[in-house]
Amino acid sequence: MAFAILSSGGDAAGMNPAIKKFVDYCAKLHIETYLIYEGLEGLIDNKIKKASHKDVAGILHLGGTIIRSSRSKRFFDFQYRKQAYENLKLYNINNLIVLGGDGSFRALEVFSTEFDMNFVGVPSTIDNDIYGTEYCLGVDTALNVIRDSLDKIRDTVASFNRAFVVEVMGRECGYLALVSAMVSGAEICVIPEAPLSQEALQKRLKQEIQEGRRYVLAIVAEGTKKTTQVYEWIEEKLGLEARVTILGHVQRGGNPTVYDRLMAFDFVINAVDYLRKNEQVKKVIVYNQGKFTFKDIQEISSQKYQLPQHYLKAINYLERP
């Protein structure tokens, strides 16, 4: 019996701590371990290497993933999935830990139904959009990167009668935008999950500007595709000079926070223990209310993540008349 780990899809800070803990913990249990480089593409191309302490020494503080990642179109083709399985059998690997998001888990769901392969998915995405878990590996670091950027932007926007529109990542999920708006004190937050109430916002902000407000900070989730619209609305309706900042992929990088490192350790230790104690495993490990549990991959892949209602109430507060 051998275990392997791979990263798939977008990188997330915390993947490297997870990889290190995987190798170190399995060594303690005398389990043979392998690193799969370049995600599902590497699985197809047999970029599989037996792991040693030297491979993971000194990586805890690094962002990204040392085993690299990929988005694989070939994995949709059965012949390449079969090739991937045959590569795993060359090394007697029958247990996989997958650091990835919903697309990666759906790919492994198909893979595990076709071939005798056990796996546990570890939610690892800065979008924090995996159904069934409050937390995904990497989101805390991403939020801290955004928070630092917003604090710096507020320094300069407060020096002028001006507005800044800041676009953050998150795909179709507004988690990063909403939480960032809450902790930065943004005046406007635009996310896919809630319509933009322009009339209420305009009434409130125009009144505040008349009463002395000198600047406005707007956070827009990329999935809304409304960054330009918000910029034009601020200039035309509020009468403020505006600037647009798109944070982009800087949000994926950075040293993993303490919280992301600790969570990486717990995710992996629980995943390894579950795999070695159970048979026919096709699960995703999730974290809710301080506890780790395992959900069937079918449940995770068939449901859509919903933002917490108490977070969504923050939008209503911003849009108060």
Examine residue 309 and state whether it is found in any structural domain, yes or no: no
Same-domain pairing of 175 and 268: no
Examine residue 180 and state whether it is found in any structural domain, yes or no: yes
Q: What is the pLDDT of residue 165?
A: 97
Q: What token pair was written down for 26?
A: 């399995």
Same-domain pairing of 131 and 217: no
Same-domain pairing of 131 and 267: yes
**What is the C-alpha to C-alpha distance for residues 128 and 13, in angstroms, rounded to an integer?**
13
The domain tally of the chain equals 2
Examine residue 307 and state whether it is found in any structural domain, yes or no: no
The boundaries of the domain holding residue 6 are: 2-138+256-302
Cβ atoms of residues 141 and 14 within 8 Å: yes
Examine residue 90 and state whether it is found in any structural domain, yes or no: yes
> What are the residues whose beta carbons fall under 8 Å from the beta carbon of 307, sequence distance 6 or more?
173, 174, 175, 178, 191, 193
Same-domain pairing of 9 and 130: yes
The residue ranges of the chain whose pLDDT is under 50 are 321
Q: Phi first, then psi: what are they for 232, rounded to 5°?
A: -65, -40
Alpha helices per DSSP H over 14-77: 15-28, 39-44, 53-56
Same-domain pairing of 150 and 247: yes
Q: What is the pLDDT of residue 318?
A: 63
Same-domain pairing of 76 and 208: no
3-state secondary structure of 127: coil
Q: Which residues are catalytic?
A: 127
Edge-to-edge, what's the strand order for the sheet holding 2-7? 48-50, 32-36, 2-7, 93-100, 118-123, 282-288, 291-296
Same-domain pairing of 90 and 184: no
Same-domain pairing of 68 and 143: no
**What is the C-alpha to C-alpha distance for residues 225 and 223, in angstroms, rounded to an integer?**
6
pTM of the shown model:
0.94
CB count in 10 Å sphere of residue 278: 12
Cβ atoms of residues 187 and 207 within 8 Å: no
Q: What is the CATH number of the domain that holds 233?
A: 3.40.50.460
Integer CA distances (angstroms), 21 to 5, 53, 79, 248, 270, in order: 11, 10, 33, 29, 11
**What is the C-alpha to C-alpha distance for residues 23 and 88, in angstroms, rounded to an integer?**
17
Q: What token pair was written down for 91?
A: 């090394």
Same-domain pairing of 89 and 220: no
Examine residue 308 and state whether it is found in any structural domain, yes or no: no
> 207 exposed, middle or buried (CB, 10 Å; 0-12, 13-18, 19+)?
exposed
Q: What is the CATH number of the domain that holds 34?
A: 3.40.50.450
Examine residue 88 and state whether it is found in any structural domain, yes or no: yes
Beta strand pairing call for 291-296 and 241-246: unpaired
